[in-house]
Amino acid sequence: MKNRKFKEHDIIISSPPHRTTHSAYSDDLERDFSCRCAYCNLHKNSVTTPFEVDHFIPRAVFKGIRDDLNNDYRNLVYACKKCNGAKSSKFSGDIKSENPTNNSFYDPRQVDYNTIFYRNDYGAIVSNDAKGRSMIRDIKLYRPIHTMGWLCEKLASMVDKLDVAISYETNCERLVVLQQARDKICYKYFQYERVFKASYNEPDFSVEGLEALGK
């Protein structure tokens, strides 16, 4: 079984100017996290649902005790709606300590998730680490939608590579083969992308409902 890297980018550790609200850091987070959800690695352009600003130490935990964490950039994480909703207010640790952290999860700024997670042959997110497995359960990274999003991205990448190969190919026979391969992969990509976006955006999604809409 081949283990595939969880992500290809490095998270940037920056210190943007102080902003009055946590949501005002959205552009900074988007840049530092390379437009990807810190928890599942989904790219923001893969879905139409806007990404969110997650509090690593949840607001429900620090409210009234450490209100400074609300706008502390070090406590803010770029996350997709699915992961942010699943993570919710899960927390373990001492909020009253001098430097509190959320021990339920690895801080994506402090720990390279490539050392915790990888993709198996089916594209599912897996981990050999105890806390990593707990995170998969708590953030629901086991959901098929996370595999589907990864698969769509891989298919789109294959199409892009074939486009480049086609643009340079001068042999007519090879060109036909490349174009046929591109058409087949494109067809699969649009099929999977349609299901992925519908299931991501609609809580009551069903394949039967999608088929009915397509008729």
Strand 52-55 with 125-126, pairing: unpaired
What pLDDT, on the 0 to 100 scale, is given for residue 10?
Answer: 96
Can you give the pLDDT of all 215 residues of the chain as single tens digits? Answer: 567 999 999 999 999 999 999 999 999 999 999 999 999 999 999 999 999 999 999 999 999 999 999 999 999 999 999 999 999 999 999 999 999 999 999 999 999 999 999 999 999 999 999 999 999 999 999 999 999 999 999 999 999 999 999 999 999 999 999 999 999 999 999 999 998 998 888 765 555 544 544 44
182 in Cβ contact with 166 (< 8 Å): yes
Cα→Cα distances 13→43, 116, 132, 175, 187, Å:
19, 19, 22, 45, 39
CA–CA distance, 161 with 195 (Å, rounded to integer): 23
**pTM, full prediction:** 0.89
Kindly write down the DSSP assignment for every residue of 118-168, as one continuous string: EE-TTS-EE-SSHHHHHHHHHTTTTSHHHHHHHHHHHHHHHHHHHHHHHHH
Count of other CB atoms within 10 angstroms of residue 59: 14
What pLDDT, on the 0 to 100 scale, is given for residue 206?
Answer: 52
What pLDDT, on the 0 to 100 scale, is given for residue 129?
Answer: 98
Q: Name the nearest CA neighbour of 149 among 82, 52, 75, 74.
A: 82
CB within 8 A of 196, min separation 6: which ones? 46, 145, 148, 149, 152
